[in-house]
Each structure stands twice: as structure tokens, then as C-alpha cells.
Structure 1
């Protein structure tokens, strides 16, 4: 059964990490459309500005970035009625308990520590893909009215 493309917003300031993520995901699934931005401010502009294409169904967020870090992005995006229902998955090198607790306090949908090996990274991305594209049912933004999102 064919499915429509799945749109993902990757918020990652390291070009090599972003390229690896995109390449590995493309090997697993050609129907995942990744849009990459380099910091939280660019992500907010993308989500809240004029929509350049379909809104993402998932945001994959690094925490430690210049301009606006992941924690500030979470605070701002979860306060915006238009986009707060979009799940955000943190993918970070930080294993610090304070970062993890602060991310969940910021209403993150999940927290994954970036693995150190290519094989482990492949398994992580396979699991993310299986969970977010197969198991979980996500709300479609077109099904949510602004009035409903404000309550």
C-alpha cells in the first residue's frame, strides 16, 4: 500500500550530522521528505511563517545550537497554538539528566541520545522510522481547527 510522503523538519546545526541523518534516512525510506534548518530560530520561522510546503509531521531537534537552542525552541513552539501539536523528538549528544528533564518539561515527545557508531545510528533511525511512521497515529494538521487548538 502506498502512503503519502512523511514530512520531517530536522533542526541541526552541524552540517555533517544533518547530512548523515538525511542520507541514512533516505536509505531506509524514500517517502520521508526532510527539510533541514540550522537552529531553533530558523525552525520557528519555518513553522510559523508562510508555509513553503506541507507542515512537518515530526520535528527532530538537536539541543545545543547557536542563535536559539533546542530548549528555547520547545518553549516557543509549544506556546504557539498553530503548531504545538506537532511532535518534537530530541536527538542530542547530551545524556545529562538536566537536559532530559528540561526537554520533557518542555513537552518533548521523546528524547534519544545520538549513538556513537554507524551501526547503532542505523538501528536508532530504523526504530524512529518504525515508531513515528508505523505505530503512532499522528493528528493531521488539516483536521485540527484553530479554535480547537486554542483550547
Structure 2
């Protein structure tokens, strides 16, 4: 058990996918706090908003309106106060171009959205085990410019 809540920012325009992911994550790990936004622009606005909890992990879809995942990655990783937040791309695309471009823009990981409920449960277990247990994450509670 972490000593405090683990904050996830879920960036995905597919509401049904986001609800299912959140439900599975919360069932398995009720201490997790998940905030859902619909696109990269909303995600940047959330990160820049004073008083909001800084996410420990961002889970990012690629194909979204307004600002897609690739553009969000570029902008978030170029910003000093967001650069060290790990970003896991979770996309329906397994295309080599999407994978390469994501890592080129400093994604911390890349996974393909599973097609079945059971596979999504297994992926959530792996995500949580790795990001909440296996690695040490930066703990910057307040960053000043």
C-alpha cells in the first residue's frame, strides 16, 4: 500500500473505454485517484491548474480530437514542471510509427488497448504493479517556476 493516494490522469476521448478502465482500476486498487479528461488540451489545462493534485502517472490515448496524444506528449515533455511525470501511452494502434513517435517524444511506455475485459484486467494489474510498486517515482508536491 502506498503511503498516500496514487493519482492517475487518464486522457481518452472514448468515454466507455475510460469508464471501463476506471472501474477495473478502482476495483483492484481502491486507493487510486483517477481523473479523466477527453483530450490533450484538457490534460494540459488540468496540469496547469493551481490546486490540482499532480498525477503520479498519465495514461494517454493517441487518437483524440482537439489535441491528440502525440501533440500532448510533445508539449508536456517540453514543460519543465510536467517533464518528469511518467506517461504511458495506451492506444488501439500497434503501428510502428505510433510506437516510435511516442518514444521519440519521451513516452515512458506504450501498450495496446486489450480487446477483452479479462485482458484489460490483466493489463491494469501489470500497470499498477509496475507504477505503484516496482519503480520509484518522483515526488514533487509543488513545483515553482
TM-score by length of 1: 0.92
- Who is 1:35 aligned against? 35
Point out where structure 2 has 5 or more consecutive residues left out of the alignment. none
The verdict on how the C-alpha distance between 1:137 and 1:2 changes in structure 2, with shifts beyond 3 A counting, is closer
1:118 and 2:117 correspond? yes
Runs of 4 or more consecutive aligned structure 1 residues displaced over 2 Å after TM superposition: none
- Who is 2:72 aligned against? 73
Alpha-carbon distance in structure 1 between the residues aligned to 2:14 and 2:120: 16
What RMSD over aligned residues (CA atoms) do the two structures have, in Å?
1.4
* 1:124, distance to aligned residue in structure 2 (A): 0.5
Point out where structure 1 has 5 or more consecutive residues left out of the alignment. none
* 1:49, distance to aligned residue in structure 2 (A): 2.6
Where do 1:2-151 residues align within 5 Å? 3-51=3-51, 53-142=52-141
TM-score by length of 2: 0.95
The verdict on how the C-alpha distance between 1:118 and 1:47 changes in structure 2, with shifts beyond 3 A counting, is same
The verdict on how the C-alpha distance between 1:2 and 1:65 changes in structure 2, with shifts beyond 3 A counting, is closer
Structure 1 counterpart SS, 2:8:
strand
Alpha-carbon distance in structure 1 between the residues aligned to 2:139 and 2:76: 17
Alpha-carbon distance in structure 2 between the residues aligned to 1:142 and 1:13: 28
Judge conservation of contact 1:81–1:146 (CA < 8 Å) in 2: no
Structure 2 counterpart SS, 1:123:
helix
* 1:54, distance to aligned residue in structure 2 (A): 1.5
